[in-house]
Amino acid sequence: MRRVRLIDLAHGRSGDKGDSSDISIFAYDSKKYAFLKGYLTAERVAAHFAPIAQGPVERYEVDNLEALKFIVHSALGGGAPRSLRSDNLGKAMASALLRLEVEVPEEVL
Q: What is the pLDDT of residues 73-105, one digit of tens each?
A: 987 765 555 555 554 556 788 999 999 999 999
Residue extents of the structural domains in the chain:
2-99
Helix (H) or strand (E) holding 103: strand 101-104
pTM over cut 0.75: yes
C-alpha distance across the termini of the chain, in Å? 10
Q: What is the CA radius of gyration of the chain?
A: 14
- Give the integer Cα–Cα distance in Å for 35 and 30: 9
Percent of the chain residues past pLDDT 70, beyond the cut? 87
What is the second-level CATH architecture of the domain 2-99? Answer: 2-Layer Sandwich (3.30)
